[in-house]
């Protein structure tokens, strides 16, 4: 039986359900929703990867609560043999039966945050290519490092170790340990607090630091890859180059967002990060077996 979603919630639901998402604007008043979704997929993938991406189409069904994205691809690093590092034939996102809830935002204004729940994000026919770069790292590692750096720059409270390294690099007069301590801002307190008001205050401050100012957050219960083909190209000279393909099915990337969800702008980076980490793990396992 089809489930109808009220039109007055469409702007919130459709914008928030895709995994490469940016802050909601009043685009819907003058433009096409599907065009907006497509533009945000491209914007987020290019923002985190630093490379051009392509998407054939995006479509949100108000009857089923499913968003479908067709033929997403991400360009490879310049100078490598393959034109793409990643191609995904189709991505579908299914909204929960109760798709949204309101969270209290830890701010002076006492604003609420909309949490959007996606029960399943499914990727079908994923193709990826791994190649060595001039530095000796694979392109997958280069992409992962770029994404980690961007996430740590945008959300330092969630990536204290990486943020500390970046901070220490910008301030050579400080070592990494001091930088990390300054970012944590005394989170580890040796004193035992017994005052409930103080405990509640500290909890609110920590939540504010983690949630930030995002007014829309997203959580995903499960991310599944139906079929994954990883082609590993070894050797950086044409006469030495060879490729090995690894095909896997029904891969789970787990859940994303936990209780409070992830900032809508953050979700694209987190998903790309997890996908690349999985690809790197598969490649390393394959090398050990060889």
Give the 3-state secondary structure of 185-220: CCCCCCCCCCCHHHHHHHHHHHHHHHHCCCCEEEEE
Which pLDDT belongs to residue 35?
83
CA pair distance 241, 6, nearest whole angstrom? 55
Domain count, the chain: 1
| 233 has pLDDT over 50 | yes
- Asked whether residue 257 is domain-assigned, the answer is yes
- Asked whether residue 184 is domain-assigned, the answer is no
Segment 217-245 shows an average pLDDT of 85
- Looking up tokens 């079929």 gives 227
CA pair distance 245, 239, nearest whole angstrom? 19
CA pair distance 156, 164, nearest whole angstrom? 8
The 10s digit of each residue's pLDDT in 71-107 is 999 999 999 999 999 999 999 999 898 888 887 655 5
- Asked whether residue 177 is domain-assigned, the answer is no
What residues make up the domain containing 33? 7-155+216-289
Which pLDDT belongs to residue 223?
96
- Asked whether residue 170 is domain-assigned, the answer is no
- Asked whether residue 30 is domain-assigned, the answer is yes
What pLDDT band is residue 47 in, cutting at 50, 70 and 90? very high
- Asked whether residue 203 is domain-assigned, the answer is no
- Asked whether residue 85 is domain-assigned, the answer is yes
CA pair distance 76, 275, nearest whole angstrom? 15
Could you tell me the sign of the dihedral formed by the alpha carbons of 97, 99, 105, 110, in that order? negative
The 10s digit of each residue's pLDDT in 98-148 is 888 887 655 544 566 788 899 999 999 999 999 999 888 999 999 999 999
What predicted TM-score, i.e. pTM, was given to this entire model? 0.76
Range from 3-12, 228-237, 239-248 that averages highest in pLDDT: 228-237
Mean pLDDT, all residues of the chain: 77
- Asked whether residue 52 is domain-assigned, the answer is yes
Task: Compare 7 and 173 and report the one with higher pLDDT.
Answer: 173
Of 147, 38, 21, 156, whose CA–CA distance to 85 is shortest? 147
CB atoms within 10 A of CB 93: 22
């Amino acid at each position: 039986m089809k489930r109808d979603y009220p039109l007055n919630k469409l702007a919130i639901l459709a914008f928030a359900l895709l995994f490469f998402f940016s802050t909601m604007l009043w685009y819907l008043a003058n433009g096409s929703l599907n065009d907006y979704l497509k533009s945000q997929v491209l914007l987020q993938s290019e923002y985190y990867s630093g490379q051009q991406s392509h998407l054939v189409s995006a479509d949100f069904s108000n009857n089923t609560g499913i968003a479908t994205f067709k033929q997403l691809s991400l360009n490879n690093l310049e100078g490598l043999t393959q034109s793409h590092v990643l191609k995904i034939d189709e991505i579908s996102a299914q909204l929960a039966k109760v798709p949204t809830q309101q969270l209290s935002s830890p701010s002076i204004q006492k604003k609420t945050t909309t949490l959007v729940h996606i029960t399943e994000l499914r990727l079908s026919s994923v193709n990826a290519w791994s190649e060595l770069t001039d530095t000796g790292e694979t392109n997958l590692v280069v992409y992962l490092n770029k994404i980690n750096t961007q996430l740590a720059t945008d959300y330092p409270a969630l990536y204290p170790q990486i943020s500390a390294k970046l901070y220490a690099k910008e301030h050579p007069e400080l070592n990494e340990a001091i930088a990390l301590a300054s970012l944590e801002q005394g989170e580890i307190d040796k004193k035992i607090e017994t005052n409930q008001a103080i405990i509640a205050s500290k909890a609110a401050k920590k939540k504010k630091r983690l949630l930030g100012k995002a007014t829309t957050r997203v959580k995903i219960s499960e991310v599944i890859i139906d079929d994954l083909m990883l082609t590993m190209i070894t050797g950086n000279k044409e006469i030495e180059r060879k490729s090995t393909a690894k095909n896997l099915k029904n891969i789970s990337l787990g859940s994303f967002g936990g209780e409070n969800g992830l900032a809508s702008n953050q979700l694209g980076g987190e998903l790309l990060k997890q996908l690349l980490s999985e690809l790197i793990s598969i490649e390393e396992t394959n090398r050990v077996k060889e």
